[in-house]
Structure 1
Amino acid sequence: MGVTRRYRGESEKLLVPLLNLFTMETLKIAFVYDVVYPWVKGGVERRIYELAKRLARDHEVHVYGYKHWEGKNEIERDGIHYHGLAPAPKRLYLLGKRNPLPMLRLASRLRRRIGEFRWYDIVDVQNLFYPGALALKSLPSTVITWHEFWGPYWWRYLGPGGLPGWLSERALFTAEHHISVSWKTKHDLLRAGLRKPVPVVPNGVDVEFIQAIPPDELESDVIFVGRLISEKGVDFLLKALVKVKEELPDVRAVIVGGGPERKRLERMAKGLGLEKNVLFTGFLPYKRVIALMKASKVFVLPSLREGFGMVALEAMACGLPVVTLNAPMNAARFLVEDGKNGFVVDESQLSDTLASLLFDKAFLKLIGRVSREISAEYDWDAVVRLLLDVYV
């Protein structure tokens, strides 16, 4: 089942009065977020880039955010028009949390240019850039793309300081048009009281690109890829590896990514006696990340919170089983068909699951083939067709 067929029932038409359904003339589309790919390599940024470069083949596409580049404020790259509204902050994170002050400054720049956005057929603003989404939500052409809905989690994340985030989410409910990247987030929105259509347009994967990349020379048994923040749960992986090491003394794990937790996790690995078993690579070019996945055996995503889990799709396209946590806010668990392309486990089951997979080479080969088949359903070209269907 292709992604378009899988989600066809969800593709309620958002903007019929604005567009000509029958001629499908060139659309003028703006994507709005704070950070911009490829200068920052997160899941939301990656989604915007993959959609934008494909839409730019037939439509006029603009991306608004921080100015991460040198030179002019507005540049063109891969057919996409980039608008740098404010200099990129030196520190995206403050005390391990996203720094809200630069986002507020960026949103003030958006408000000054509100008239500019009235000329777009579609203004696709990402909910996680809350100040920007609030600034643009009243435009008739605005679509709020929801990557996550936190609800009560705001209080756990920031304590009493979570009130502005909680209120911001509720305020976005007044926008007319919404998209969710996952069924989980859609369910959370409807349960929280949003009473408007919320079609699901998932993230995707570039299957053809991934297939063309050969495995890296650096082989491993287990690989993790992601930003090193507490919500990613790398602690759980390290603790599980201690037990796996009892059965497989030479077990090799590669942890790809950087972030505020890196030094603490490196100290933790050393304290657990894993310094010879675990390699922290830091951030790497995308091709190298894919090559390292292809040179590994099992992908582990021990996240407590994932809005979608695009990296899990990429691992599946590399032929890896995905082991992820059965955590309430982990949407990646819905990408895994338990026992077919991976396993959804509790923290206490992580070590046994990894050991069982690593000992069963025949099963690894079988589950890898199923992973590739499932990932092919999420090819970015199919996702773009679904997105256009939703837009018009």
Structure 2
Amino acid sequence: MRIVYIYDAVYPFIKGGVERRVYEIGKRLAKKHDVYWFGLNWGEGSPDGIEFYGVGRWKNLYKNGKRSIGEAIYFALKLLLKFKGKYDIVDCQQFPYFPCFSAKFHSMIRDIPLVITWHEVWNEYWKEYLGNLAIFGLQVERKMSKITENNISVSRLTQRRLYSIGVHSEVIPNGIDFKRIQNVSKKDEEYDIIFVGRLIREKNVDLLLKAVRMVREDIPDLKVLIIGEGPEKERLVKLASILDLSDNVKFLGFLKDHDEVISYLKSSKVFVLPSKREGFGIVVLEANASGLPVITLDYPMNASKELIIHGYNGFVSSPTPDHLAKYIEISLSNRKKFRRNCTKNARRYDWNIIAKLTEKFYERVLSKR
């Protein structure tokens, strides 16, 4: 097959969950198929085994902590003008919406089946994200949901939300490189609690800090590591100081080397992901593969809670500091019990398995022609 992926952000220049999925699946399929990627130019070179086409340049994906609408429109227009080549199938990532319409145009005029991979369905979240312009975002999402019958959801939550607007999809989750994680060595310095993620409001790290203050009453020398950058960092550092946690909490910043992130996970005891909204949560699986139980929160738009079997490989907590603190203490006192369960759960999501599921999905789409 000649497979083409469409997504503006390109791994390894940008290291988010969507671009990581395209990269990991694409490089595995490239061993048997011809794989291409249309995106924006972020640096020199191409992802492993994938032929890359950059259709333009843009400085920042984010503006004021949110995805730039201007960038999304720019990429869609550039894609419309510069898409080229003959392919058997096109897989366009659903976000940031506008490029999917460009992909649909080329799919129609070139008679190529179009697949949309859905990472989230926002529905009512548009009100929080765009305020008075929410109806615009909602209409774009609804119209885009009808452009193909070939839809992949990365989580059951996304599948259910698509079904609620009349769209059928097949779940093919994100994954991890299980073997590579096992080969990474841990750091010398140990931490009790670790968080990895972008420091934005929806990650809800302030609730974690409030829970940490409660846990510290029983564990005075508690050590917490927060890895990541974002517009909330300054506020969170101040909050840690106000809560008298400066000696307990370390803000490490963004790490370019992903193996170093894994190394810090392996040197920690519990991973906490307090997000209000997650399209999947690859880092949950990476933490499990590193032997860590994961605690996440019971929010309606948090798909990462689907990766947790409560009491087996972690906990799904009520979104309050006291409940989160309770599960942190339980996890810290039962590390050996969780370790085997966590690695067993994570093994099921190896990227090699996910790539094969994706390949079979493409073959079924082509067989319908």
Aligned to 2:91: 124
- Give per-residue Cα distances to partners, 1:315-360, cap 9 Å, x unaligned: 00001001000000000000000000000011221011112222x1
Q: CA RMSD in A?
A: 1.2
Distance (Å, rounded) in 2 between the aligned partners of 1:34 and 1:233: 27
Aligned to 2:73: 104
Amino acid at match of 2:194: I
Find out whether 1:88 has 2:58 as its counterpart: yes
Aligned to 1:137: 104
Q: Within 5 Å, which residues of 2 pair with 1:324-339?
A: 324-339=296-311
Indicate conservation of the 8 Å contact 1:137/1:172, yes or no. no
Q: Within 5 Å, which residues of 2 pair with 1:51-90?
A: 51-70=25-44, 75-89=45-59
DSSP 3-state at the match of 1:192: coil
Aligned to 1:185: 158
DSSP 3-state at the match of 1:247: coil
Distance (Å, rounded) in 2 between the aligned partners of 1:341 and 1:184: 19
Aligned to 2:367: none
Distance (Å, rounded) in 2 between the aligned partners of 1:280 and 1:93: 22
Indicate conservation of the 8 Å contact 1:134/1:171, yes or no. no
Aligned to 1:245: 216
Amino acid at match of 1:310: I
Indicate conservation of the 8 Å contact 1:146/1:185, yes or no. yes
Aligned partner (choices 278, 292, 307) of residue 279 of structure 2: 307
DSSP 3-state at the match of 2:23: helix
Aligned to 1:228: 199
Distance (Å, rounded) in 2 between the aligned partners of 1:86 and 1:292: 36
Deviation at 1:260, TM superposition (A): 1.4
Aligned to 1:170: 142
Indicate conservation of the 8 Å contact 2:314/2:331, yes or no. no
DSSP 3-state at the match of 2:171: coil
DSSP 3-state at the match of 1:353: helix
Distance (Å, rounded) in 2 between the aligned partners of 1:227 and 1:76: 25
DSSP 3-state at the match of 2:296: strand
Going from structure 1 to structure 2, the CA distance change for 1:150 and 1:77 (only over 3 Å counts) comes to closer
Find out whether 1:210 has 2:210 as its counterpart: no
Deviation at 1:129, TM superposition (A): 2.0
Higher mean C-alpha displacement, 171-180 vs 303-312: 171-180
DSSP 3-state at the match of 1:299: strand
Superposed structure 1 runs of 4+ greater than 6 Å apart = none
Aligned partner (choices 38, 50, 55) of residue 24 of structure 2: 50
Deviation at 1:193, TM superposition (A): 2.0
Aligned to 2:5: 31
Amino acid at match of 1:336: I
Distance (Å, rounded) in 2 between the aligned partners of 1:192 and 1:81: 35
- Give per-residue Cα distances to partners, 1:38-94, cap 9 Å, x unaligned: 111111111111111111111111112110114xxxx444211111111131x3222
**Count of aligned pairs:** 354
Going from structure 1 to structure 2, the CA distance change for 1:272 and 1:127 (only over 3 Å counts) comes to same
DSSP 3-state at the match of 1:382: helix
Deviation at 1:236, TM superposition (A): 0.9
Indicate conservation of the 8 Å contact 1:134/1:168, yes or no. no
Distance (Å, rounded) in 2 between the aligned partners of 1:307 and 1:181: 8
Distance (Å, rounded) in 1 between the aligned partners of 2:179 and 2:33: 23
Distance (Å, rounded) in 1 between the aligned partners of 2:237 and 2:356: 43
Find out whether 1:347 has 2:314 as its counterpart: no
Find out whether 1:198 has 2:165 as its counterpart: no
DSSP 3-state at the match of 2:70: helix
Going from structure 1 to structure 2, the CA distance change for 1:248 and 1:69 (only over 3 Å counts) comes to same
TM-score (norm 1): 0.88
- Give per-residue Cα distances to partners, 1:131-163, cap 9 Å, x unaligned: 101221352421110000001110122211222
Aligned partner (choices 119, 130, 155) of residue 158 of structure 1: 130
DSSP 3-state at the match of 2:164: helix
Aligned to 1:16: none
Distance (Å, rounded) in 1 between the aligned partners of 2:131 and 2:272: 29
Deviation at 1:312, TM superposition (A): 0.2
